[in-house]
Every structure is written in C-alpha cells, then in structure tokens.
C-alpha cells in the first residue's frame, strides 16, 4: 500500500504461494515515497545487458551449492561445464539443472507451490529435471533420433547431476557441446508446448540443435535443413559414452 509504505499482505497472499508470500513480505520497503523500478544491481548504471550477465556468471564460477551425489566438488563441476565450447545460455541451463533449480513441476512443489506435478508433455509421470530433459517419452526419442544416438532407459542415474557426471567424462568436446545444445533445445521445446501451445516436431527440435552446433547462435524457425545439417542429424557416432545404454555402445 503506497500511501502507508507497507505491504498489502492479504493481496500478496492471495496472489502468491505461502512460500513466495513469506519471502516477498520479508523484503523491506523504502521509507521514501516513489515509483518502483527494476534495477540490475551488478551494473553501474542499473541496466541489464548480456555482457553484464556474462560477467556475473564468470565471477560466480564458485557457486555456493555443495557437492553432488558422488561427491563432485561444485566448483570443479562448474568449471568443467563452463569449459564446454558452446553458448553461455546452454551452459547456464545445464548448471541450473544440476543445481535442481529449473522450474520443473517437482522443483516448484518443493519450493512450496501448490501445483500438479504431472509432466505437462506426456501426462504419465512426475516432472522432475531428469524426466523433463531425459526420460519423458518424446524426449527419449529426440535423444535417440539425434546424431548422438543416445538411448536413454530406466537404468540411467535418477539424478540429473549423476547422468551429467558420466557425460562429462567423455573425451570428445564436440560431443559434449552437442549434448549441451540438445538439452537447451529440449528445454525450449518443453516451454514452447507449456506456455505457447506449440508442439515442436522432432525434425524441428533437431534442426535447432544442429543450427547451434554449426553456427553457435541461430534462430531456425521454419528452417529447411541443408546438406550439412542433414549430415549432422543422420551421422552415427558409435561408442558414444557410458551414459548411453544403447546396445552395442
């Protein structure tokens, strides 16, 4: 309530979950009247830029979260993720997935939201990070249909971080970059379905991942696959790695 310089508690509680309400109501209000405005606190002029965001991510190369299930040091893991030669947005997404902070439904429920945790894509399982990025039925098909030929079955580590640790052991940097790119596309595909009602076909999903591989940053809506991209999608890499349960690998 602007005139009294205090939160409208009933309004906040009616809009947000109890967890979020409590966090919001703990924010101290400025004693002086004035309009609110968004400020990027890590910039001297208070405005966000990609450069400022990139710089912040680099300076936070030693994140606060401790180790994963097999004792991996978080800082070491972050450095390995950051060393992958792909776009920062792909690496940041993978890191958020490892930390368990992607807004998949199980994570939102864990944070106190009253929410149906069923996967919005298949409707057959709870939407965990692992499910959203790896084991959802449509996502498995994408992994397998990609040039990576990764066959994901129930035997993969339940925890996404556990799976990624296996991935990061792979010696081929290009393969790791391709995996990161595909994870990013899979997440965008999920959000396109959830928020825009758009269902990306396998071809479109793989074309987007291939475009990242080729040009590092390309929007490919409506892209017709060229020769090189078709090759990227179709070429097989045998013996792709310990995370792949495909027979013969």
Choice from 56, 57, 87, 122 touching Zn ion (CB under 5 A): 122
Check binding of 12 to Zn ion (CB under 5 A). Answer: no
In the bound state with Zn ion, the residue whose beta carbon lies nearer, of 106 and 210, is 106
Q: Per rule CB under 5 A, is residue 121 in the interface with Zn ion?
A: yes
- Nearer of residues 119 and 161 to Zn ion, judged by Cβ: 119
- Rounded Cα distance, 132 and 129, in Å: 5
Q: Which residues contact 101 (CB under 8 A, 6 or more apart)?
A: 107
Residue that is written with structure tokens 């081929």 in the block: 172
Nearer to Zn ion, 122 or 249 (CB): 122
Per CB under 5 A, 186 contacts Zn ion = no
Which of 171, 106, 112, 114 has the alpha carbon at shortest distance from 135?
Answer: 106
Largest CA distance in the chain: 70
Which token pair is 13?
């509680």
Residue 90 or 121: the one with the smaller Cβ distance to Zn ion is 121
Spatial separation of the C-alpha atoms in residues 56 and 41, rounded to whole Å = 11
CB of 206 to Zn ion, least distance (A): 19
Quick check: helix, strand or coil at residue 126?
strand
3 state SS of 118: strand
Candidates 61-69, 105-113, 116-124, 199-207: pick the segment binding Zn ion (CB under 5 A): 116-124
Here's the x/- map for Zn ion, 125-144, by CB under 5 A: it reads as -----------x--------
The DSSP 8-state label assigned to residue 163 in this structure reads H
Task: Give how many residues touch Zn ion by CB under 5 A.
Answer: 4
Q: Is 119 in the site for Zn ion (CB under 5 A)?
A: yes
Footprint of Zn ion (CB under 5 A)? 119, 121-122, 136
């Amino acid at each position: 309530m602007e005139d009294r310089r205090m939160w409208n508690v009933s309004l906040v509680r009616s809009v947000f979950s109890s967890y979020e309400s409590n966090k919001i109501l703990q924010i101290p209000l400025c004693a002086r009247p004035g309009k609110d405005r968004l400020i990027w606190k890590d910039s001297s002029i208070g405005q966000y830029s990609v450069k400022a965001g990139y710089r912040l991510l680099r300076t936070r190369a030693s994140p606060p979260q401790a180790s994963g299930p097999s004792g991996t040091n978080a800082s070491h893991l972050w450095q390995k993720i950051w060393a992958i030669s792909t776009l920062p947005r792909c690496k940041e997404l993978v890191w958020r997935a490892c930390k368990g902070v992607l807004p998949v439904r199980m994570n939102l429920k864990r944070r106190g939201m009253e929410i149906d945790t069923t996967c919005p894509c298949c409707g057959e399982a709870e939407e965990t990070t692992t499910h959203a990025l790896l084991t959802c039925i449509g996502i498995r098909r994408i992994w397998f249909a990609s040039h990576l030929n990764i066959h994901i079955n129930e035997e993969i580590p339940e925890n996404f971080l556990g799976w990624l640790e296996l991935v990061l052991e792979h010696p081929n940097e290009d393969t790791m970059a391709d995996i990161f790119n595909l994870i990013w596309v899979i997440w965008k595909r999920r959000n396109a379905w959830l928020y825009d009602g758009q269902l990306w076909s396998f071809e479109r999903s793989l074309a987007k991942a291939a475009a990242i591989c080729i040009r590092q940053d390309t929007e490919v809506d409506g892209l017709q696959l060229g020769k090189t991209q078709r090759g990227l999608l179709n070429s097989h890499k045998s013996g792709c790695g310990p995370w792949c349960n495909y027979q013969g690998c």
